[in-house]
Amino acid sequence: MKFGLLVSEGPYTHQASDSAYQFCMAAIAKGHEIQRVFFYHDGVNNATRLTEPPQDDRHIVNRWSALKAEHNVDLVVCVAAALRRGIKDEVLAPGFRISGLGQLVDSGIKADRLVTFGD
């Protein structure tokens, strides 16, 4: 099965980002494909390389970057939501790209299921 994901919560303010990442890993382990992860609203904060959690905490942004590197999952950040939060290309973590809502629509069309994480 091919999944698209929508993440609309920040990395450390809600369980949504952790749950989305764990969903991706479990789906890939079962042989499913993650077609795209689209970050929207506060979810765009998952994409900034400026995040520096304490050493004893998980680094959610690095987890997403590793997912891209290891499994070639398309990580798309909503341009309008990103710009509202001061996130531009120069502060994106490795593996993320900025694009428009058309990528979310495209994911909804091409994936068998679009799963949302967050409000």
Residues labelled as active-site residues: 78
Angstrom distance (rounded) from CA 78 to CA 11: 15
Angstrom distance (rounded) from CA 82 to CA 90: 12
Q: Which pair of tokens denotes residue 2?
A: 């091919």
CB 92 within 8 A of CB 48: yes
Handedness of CA 108, 102, 14, 97 (dihedral sign): positive
Closest CA to 24 of 74, 93, 95: 74
Report CA 3 to chain centroid distance, whole Å: 13
